[in-house]
Amino acid sequence: MQFTPSDLSTWPRREHFHYYRNQLPCGYSVTVQLDVTRFRAMLERKGLKFYPSFIWCVSHTILSHPAFRMGVDSEGQPGTYDRMHPNYTVFHEDDHTFSDLWTEHNESFPVFYQAFLSDVATYGTRHGMKARAGQPANFYCISCVPWLSFTGYASTVPGGQPNLFPVITYGKAAEHQGTWTMPFAVNISHAAADGWHTAQFLNDLQALLDRVDLEEVAR
């Protein structure tokens, strides 16, 4: 893990960060409908699971967006991590609770995919909030609500600081005239990202879903 502090003498968003971190702490939520038609078809052809494959795509896209890799050091100074690891949820059918798991991101899709399956096999049946210990500082949250197709979703932290890292929730995909769309919500602190940053991230994620062939992603 590498954390690079922001140079406050040259960082264009230093005033925005201070304002939304200290004077008016707030976050925001954006929900869009991702087109997953081609992505779903590709996964079906190759026999790949949606959850780990989609999480890899999100993690890969985050690498190109420093605003989605923000954090603070021990003195509260802002900076960016070199990468973010997904912290995701697994659902327990026996008591209808869920647990958090995390898997280290790897730019090689096959490596990440197998690590994800191994982590779920090892820790996925453990109940409680944290099924796997040792969660790194450079993580982001991603979870799925597979029972619901929604048009808006917001996560709040009353009395606390909005998270600098993105909190992502996606829902049930629906088909209309041959096109499959899926709700995808991003919650993030305004100190970390403005609307422009989130729009760029979402556009890049959609472009990746439209073109990626995951069996060819290996480094």
> Which residues are the active-site residues?
190
Q: Which residues, in sequence order, are CB contacts of 147 under 8 Å at separation 6+?
A: 172
Beta strands in the chain (DSSP E): 3-5, 27-35, 70-72, 78-81, 85-92, 97-102, 139-145, 167-171, 174-176, 179-189
Contact 66, 17 (CB under 8 A): no
Among 195, 219, 218, 212, residue whose Cα is nearest residue 45? 212
CB under 8 A, 24+ apart: contacts of 6-12: 6/77, 6/78, 6/79, 6/80, 8/77, 11/78
The CA distance from 208 to 175, in Å, is 20
SS3 of residue 81 by DSSP: strand
**SS in 3 state form for 83-117?**
CCEEEEEEEECCCCEEEEEECCCCCCHHHHHHHHH
Q: Are strands 70-72 and 78-81 parallel, antiparallel or unpaired?
A: antiparallel
